[in-house]
Amino acid sequence: MLHDFLSAHRHRAVHAVARLALCALLTTTGMGTTPPPASATESAESLRLGVVPTMSLNEVTEGALLFRTNQAGRYRPAPILKTDVQIAVTGIIVRATVRQEFTNPSRQKGDWLEGIYVFPLPENAAVDHLRMKVGERIIDGQIKERGDAKKVYEQAKQEGKRTGLVEQERPNIFTTSVANIGPGEHVTIEIEYQDTIRYENEQFQLRFPMAVGPRYIPGVPVIIEGQDPKGSGTRLDTDRVADASRITPPMQSPGQGSSNPLSLSLTLNPGFPITKIESPFHPIISIQDQDGGYKIALREDAIPADHDFQLIWHPAPHTESMAAVLTEQQDGETYAMLMLVPPTQHHEQTSRIPRDITFIIDRSGSMAGVSIEQAKSSLVAALSRMTAQDRFNIIQFNHMVRSLFPIPQSVTPKTMQQAIRYTEHLTADGGTEILPALRQALQSPQDNSRLQQIILITDGQVGNEEELFELLHQRVGSRRLFTIGIGSTPNSHLMRKAAESGRGTFTYIGNVNEVKDKLDGLFKKLERPVLNNITIDPAGWSGLEQFPATISDLYEGEPIVLALKAATLPSEAMLRGQVGTTTWSVPVSFHNATARGGISVYWARQKISALMDETYKGGSQEVIRKAVLDVALHHHLVSRYTSLVAVDVTPARPTDRPAAEQDQVTPVASTEDHAALTGLPRTGTGGQLQILLGLAALLLAGFVLGLRKQAA
C-alpha cells in the first residue's frame, strides 16, 4: 500500500516540495538574479530590423506597460509617451488630473494587447473620474461595485471592445487595466481626484506621490495549485498579505535608464496673503497673477518620477485664529469642511508633565548611510532634552527586535550613558518587521498620571497595514504614537493612519539631510502642553454627522479639520477643549461660509475611511461593505468595494482574434537609496529564516524519495 501511495503521489509531493524550496530561495534573494542585459550588438540588430526588444521583469528601467510574449518570462515594453499632472488648489481643496499616454509598439496587423499598471496617489485622494481616449474617441468611466465593474470589463474585453478599469489596492495605490489596444494605437488614461492641503508648523503643504515604494511583505508565500496569483507583482501572496502580488510592481535600479518622464503644472489660489512658496525637491517657476493667485510649473519640461513632489507655502504673519469654513448644498443636505488653527497659548511657566517616552528606530538595510546616521544623531539630542522626572526606552528593529530595557527606565546619568552608547553603535541591515517592534513598545504598563509617548522612526514600506492598525486598536490605550517617515516615497497611508490610531502626528521627511532638524522640531513640540478633549458643541445642529467622530489631541500650531453633514447648520458653532487643566473655547461662524463644490466628496471620503477603520475593530465585514457601497456609489468614488469602468460601445478587435495575455504591472518606482528600490535581501526579508525553510524543504524531498526507495 505504501508503494501504491508513493507511486500515485510522488510526483505531486516532489513538485510541491521543490516549489516550496524555490519560493524560499526567491524570497531570500529578492526574486533571483537579474539576467545580464542584451549586448549592444543585439539591441542595434533589433532596432535595425524594427523589432521591439524584449526584457525580463528584473530588467525594467522605467514605468511602462509590459506586454507578455510567447517567450516565458519575457515582455515587450509599451513606451509611456507622456505623463502630465495638472493640479488646482483653491484654499485647502485640491483638484488634480493625471494623464498618462501609452502606445502599442507592435506594427503587426491584428496584434491586440492589454495593459495593466499601478500608480500612487495621496492617501486621502478621492478618485471620482476616469476617462479613456483612443484616437478621437473619449469614453467616460462609470462607478460600479467592484465585482460588477470587473465583469463589465472582462465582458467588453472578450467582445473586442476597448475598455478601462480603475481599482483601489490601498487608499494610496491604484491599478488601471486597459484592454484591446490596437497595433500602433495611442491610449490616454485620465484620472481625476480630490484631496486637501495639510497645515503643519505654520505652513501649508501639498505632496504629489510619483512612485510606489518597495514594500516589505511578511508571511509565508501561499501557492494554490491551478490558480495564478491575484496580481502580476514581484512578490507572491502570503498568509499575512493576501494581495501582495497586486501591490509589488517591479522596481528599477538607479542608473539603468531614465525614469518615467513627468510634467506638472499647478494653479494656487490660497485665499489669503502668503510670504513664500518653495519646492524642496524640484526646481519650479512661480508667477503671481493680478488676483493674488499663482501659476506654478516645473522648471524642466519633464522630470524623472523618482521623488515625490512637494510644494510648501507660508501664510503672512497673523495674530488671531486662522479659520476656513466651506459649504456645499447637495440632495437636500448641507456639507461643510471646517479648518481652524487654535490661538497659540504659551505656557512656559507651567510645570511639565512627567513622560514615559519609547523611541522605536528602524535599522533595516534601506536606512543605511545618511538616514541612520542622522536618525542616531537626533535620537541622542532627544535623550538630552529629557528631565529627571521622565522615563524612557529605546527599541531597535530590522527583521529582529531588540530593546535597551524591558520597560522604560528613569533618566539617570547611568541610564543616559547606556542609551547613548546603545544608539551610537546602531547599524543598518536586515528586513523591516514593524509589527513586533510596536508590540514590544505596547507591552509597557500604562500609567495615566504620566504622558506616554511612542515615537516610531522608519523609512520602511510594508504591506501588512491591517495587522498594525488592529494591534494599535487593541493595545494603544492612553498612549500616543508619533510616526516619522523618512525617504522619497514613504507609505504615507500607513504612517498617517497609524499616528491617527495612536492619537499622534505623522511627520514626513523627504530629504534625509533634514532628518535631524525635523526630528529636533518634533521632539521640542512634544514637550509642550497638549490640546485635548476637543469637541464641537452640538447645539444648533440638526442631524449632525461628523468625521472624525473623535478629534485627536493637538499640539501647538496644529489645525482642527472636520468634515460635517447636517440637515441645517447653525450660524455659529463652538469648539471647546483643554490645555492641561485650563479650558479654552473658540467660536466659529458659519454665517459667512464660502460655498464651494467638492465638499460633499471630501465628507464622503472621510466617512469611507472611518467605515474601513471598523474592519480592524471587529466590525462585520458585510455590514461595512454595504455601508461603504452606499456612500461610494452615491458620491461616485473608487473604494475597496467600488471601481470605475469605461467601455467603448464600438467593437475594435475582431472577436475571432484573441488579445494577448494579461500584461505585467510596472509603475515608476525609484528612490535615493538603491537598497530601498531593489528589494535586496538585507532589507526585503528575513533571509536566514527563508534559507532554513528552503533547506527544510530539500530535506523533506530527500525523506520522501528515501521512503520511495524503501517501498520499492
Q: pLDDT of 109-121, one tens digit each? A: 877 877 777 778 8
The burial of 539, by beta-carbon neighbours within 10 Å (0-12 exposed, 13-18 middle, 19 or more buried), is given as exposed
Residue-wise DSSP of 586-650: EEEE-TTPEE-TTHHHHHHHHHHHHHHHGGGTT--HHHHHHHHHHHHHHHT---SSEEEEEEEEE
User: Do 178 and 662 form a contact (C-beta atoms < 8 A)?
Assistant: no
Phi-psi label, residue 135: left if phi above 0, alpha if psi -120 to 50, beta otherwise: left
Report the C-alpha dihedral over residues 535, 540, 544, 547, rounded to 10 degrees: -30
Sequence-ordered list of residues with C-beta below 8 angstroms from that of 75, at least 6 positions apart, any chain: 54, 55, 56, 57, 66, 67, 68, 69, 663, 664
The CA–CA distances, whole Å, from 385 to 514, 529, 612 equal: 19, 16, 39
The CA–CA distances, whole Å, from 170 to 247, 386, 475, 709 equal: 8, 38, 24, 50
- Which amino acid appears at position 358 of this protein? T
Position 660 in a domain: no
User: Do 693 and 219 form a contact (C-beta atoms < 8 A)?
Assistant: no
The whole model's pTM is what? 0.72
Co-location of 491 and 596 in the same domain: no
Co-location of 493 and 551 in the same domain: no
Give the separation between CA 390 and CA 384, rounded to whole angstroms. Answer: 11
Helix, strand, coil share of the chain (percent; to 5): 30, 35, 40
Q: How many CA atoms lie within 13 A of 239 on its CB side?
A: 2
Final residue belonging to a domain, choices 476, 491, 526: 526
At 580, is the secondary structure helix, strand, or coil?
coil
Position 415 in a domain: yes
Position 437 in a domain: yes
At 219, is the secondary structure helix, strand, or coil?
coil
Co-location of 482 and 535 in the same domain: no
Co-location of 590 and 617 in the same domain: yes
pLDDT under 70: residue ranges of the chain: 1-81, 211-216, 225-234, 239, 246-247, 249-260, 318-322, 342-351, 460, 488-489, 529, 580, 655-712
Give the separation between CA 404 and CA 395, rounded to whole angstroms. Answer: 6
The CA–CA distances, whole Å, from 237 to 42, 616, 700 equal: 36, 20, 23
Final residue belonging to a domain, choices 617, 635, 653: 635
At 667, is the secondary structure helix, strand, or coil?
coil
Co-location of 496 and 607 in the same domain: no
Phi, psi (deg, nearest 5) at residue 156: -65, -40
Tell me the helices (H) and strands (E) count for the chain, helix number first.
14, 35
Task: Find out whether the peptide bond into 548 is cis, omega within 30 degrees of 0.
Answer: yes
Handedness of CA 62, 295, 128, 204 (dihedral sign): positive
Give the separation between CA 621 and CA 644, rounded to whole angstroms. Answer: 22
Position 10 in a domain: no
Number of other CB atoms surrounding residue 307 within 10 Å: 22
Phi, psi (deg, nearest 5) at residue 158: -65, -30
The burial of 706, by beta-carbon neighbours within 10 Å (0-12 exposed, 13-18 middle, 19 or more buried), is given as exposed
At 449, is the secondary structure helix, strand, or coil?
coil
Q: Quote the pLDDT of residue 563.
A: 93
The burial of 95, by beta-carbon neighbours within 10 Å (0-12 exposed, 13-18 middle, 19 or more buried), is given as middle
Co-location of 409 and 494 in the same domain: yes
Helix axes of 687-711 and 2-29: crossing angle, nearest 10 degrees: 160
Co-location of 432 and 463 in the same domain: yes
Give the separation between CA 660 and CA 641, rounded to whole angstroms. Answer: 28
C-alpha cell at 700: 523533506
At 110, is the secondary structure helix, strand, or coil?
coil
Residue-wise DSSP of 328-367: EEETTEEEEEEEEEPPP---TTSPPPPEEEEEEEE-SGGG
Question: In this structure, are strands 355-362 and 391-397 parallel, antiparallel, or unpaired?
Answer: parallel
Number of residues that this document lists for the chain: 712
Q: Where are the alpha helices (DSSP H) in 363-433?
A: 370-384, 413-424
For residue 563, what is the enclosing H or E element? strand 560-566
Sequence-ordered list of residues with C-beta below 8 angstroms from that of 23, at least 6 positions apart, any chain: 221, 223, 236
pLDDT by residue (tens digit) across 674-695? 333 333 233 333 433 444 444 4
Position 403 in a domain: yes
Question: In this structure, are strands 198-200 and 284-288 parallel, antiparallel, or unpaired?
Answer: unpaired
Co-location of 517 and 542 in the same domain: no
For residue 326, what is the enclosing H or E element? strand 322-330
Co-location of 381 and 489 in the same domain: yes
Co-location of 558 and 611 in the same domain: yes
For residue 693, what is the enclosing H or E element? helix 687-711
Give the separation between CA 13 and CA 700, rounded to whole angstroms. Answer: 10
Question: What CATH number does residue 427 fall under?
Answer: 3.40.50.410
Q: Quote the pLDDT of residue 8.
A: 39
Q: Considering only CA atoms, give the Rg of the chain.
A: 27
Position 577 in a domain: yes
Position 612 in a domain: yes
Q: Quote the pLDDT of residue 195.
A: 93
C-alpha cell at 179: 484592454
Q: What is the 3-state secondary structure (H, E, C) of 227-288?
A: CCCCCCCCCCCECCCCCHHHCCCCCCCCCCCCCCEEEEEEEEECCCCEEEEECCCCCEEEEE
Co-location of 509 and 540 in the same domain: no
At 321, is the secondary structure helix, strand, or coil?
coil
At 409, is the secondary structure helix, strand, or coil?
strand
Final residue belonging to a domain, choices 601, 635, 669: 635
Give the separation between CA 261 and CA 263, rounded to whole angstroms. Answer: 7
Co-location of 386 and 505 in the same domain: yes
Give the separation between CA 96 and CA 192, rounded to whole angstroms. Answer: 6
Domain of residue 224: give its range. 215-248
Position 84 in a domain: no
Closest CA to 48 of 37, 56, 59, 40: 40
Give the separation between CA 87 and CA 567, rounded to whole angstroms. Answer: 32
User: Do 209 and 194 form a contact (C-beta atoms < 8 A)?
Assistant: no
Per the structure, how many domains does the chain have?
Answer: 3
